[in-house]
Amino acid sequence: MKAHLDAAKEKMAKRIEKLEHHFSTIRTGRANPTQLADVHIDYYGTPTPISQIASINVVEGRQMVIKAYDSSSLRAIEHAIQAANLGFNPTNDGSVIRILVPALTEQTRKELTKEVAKHGEEAKVDLRNIRRDANDHIKKDDALSEDMEKEALDKVQKLTDEHIKIVDEMIKAKDKDIMTV
């Protein structure tokens, strides 16, 4: 019984981490280096995250400055940011790349909150699927008595409810962050 619960708890925690990572890459109108976390460049034949080949600093709240460790990779970084279609227009001055993060329009804010809600709902569906799988394993476990099985199913449901509540709070916090002007 404990093994089933632990496995479900671990899977649910990983799904929450995945959602946190995704939310960190969504624009909020302020500069944040994690917005570039999923941008990779071809660095000597290997797809490499920008953060591994350059330092990314936030200046004045709305501007990111990217200083490559190898200045020959500046053009590749600039092209990768443009190709990522994040809504940024990087400028390369030969030594650093500057990205001015534009303020979000009301329409853009609403679209981003819809995207947040969509990803939150996908996370909830995944959590419910994890619950279903755990329940199936518990029901198939012949070593459990009826009472133990019922107790285990209740614990899985409580675990699911806790994680869904966490997702709801994350959605609410991200929406507030996006809608703050």
For 55, phi then psi, to 5°, come to -95, 140
- Sorted by where each begins, the domain ranges of the chain are 2-24+105-179, 33-100
Record the tokens describing residue 87, joined without a space: 């809504």
Q: Which residues in the chain land under pLDDT 70?
A: 181
pLDDT of amino acid 181? 66
Burial readout 4-32 (b: 16 or more C-beta within 10 A, e: otherwise): beeebbebbeebbeebeebbeebbbbebb
Q: Put the strands of the sheet holding 63-68 in their side by side order.
A: 54-59, 63-68, 97-100, 91-92
Please give the CATH number for the structural domain made up of 2-24+105-179: 1.10.132.20
* CATH, domain 33-100, list 3.40.50.1820, 3.20.20.70, 3.40.1010.10, 3.30.1360.40: 3.30.1360.40
The structure's pTM equals: 0.76
What are the E-state strand segments in the chain?
Answer: 40-43, 46-49, 54-59, 63-68, 91-92, 97-100
Alpha-carbon radius of gyration of the chain: 21
Which tens digits make up the pLDDT trace of 68-83?
Answer: 998 888 998 999 988 8
- Residue of 180, 175, 135 whose CA lies nearest to 155: 135
